[in-house]
Structure 1
Amino acid sequence: MANCRIGEKTVCLPAKQPAPIVKVDIPEITGSETVSFTKMIMIWEYGEGEQPVSLAIDIQRDGGTVLPMGELITVKGTETQKEISVWRLLDIPHDIIFYAHYLYGTIPREKIYTFRQRIAGRSKQ
């Protein structure tokens, strides 16, 4: 630990800063693009720094989630790939939102990373 402050409480902050999510790719999409569920493989990369403890992932279209039952997908911070099911994946821009949970010393911290991209049109039926 580094950057210790002494006062009413001693708080030690880590020497490394949180690693940002710098890239998202969706190399594979299977299923229907207009009706029912679509499955896709999502891969993401971290930049330099301390990886998060966990991530919650949301995929939105027009401000609303397209995940089944509206439940975010939770993964460990060490994971960089996930198979995800979504409702009716249309060939329009979607927001991929990562809620990264870091431990910053003894203080939990959340950072939000948003990527806007078209994710349909690469279907493997």
Structure 2
Amino acid sequence: MKLHHVALIVSSLDRSLDFYQEALGFQVLRKEFRTERNSWKVDLIRDGIQLEMFTFPGAPARPSYPEAMGLRHLAFSVDHIETFHAELKEKNIAVEEIRVDHQTGKKFFFFADPDNQPLEIYEN
């Protein structure tokens, strides 16, 4: 079994598209306005990872801190974590410092998307 996609509900389509395209390098596959739901659905892809992005008027914010039940964070892996970390900082994205996973010895760090969805970058 493989992961097919991750779906996100966003508060601002333009702001989230800018973030996922410019900061993380995703590309838009499809963009569709669904009149019956007054909602956008956008499919994005990068390196075989597919995200579905939705807008729903009046969607409530999801609690992140303290952590709530459900999806904790999304994690992406990269080959050159220090380079990726520096690139995000150059784009004025607040990132935590790089840490080392004591179980695997791999480097990782956290940051958040425009809707405060926790994201992790993990070393390949």
- Of Structure 1 and Structure 2, the greater helix share is in 2
Whichever of the two has the greater Rg, that structure is: 1
Give the TM-score normalised by the residue count of structure 2: 0.29
Q: 1 or 2, which has the higher strand percentage?
A: 1
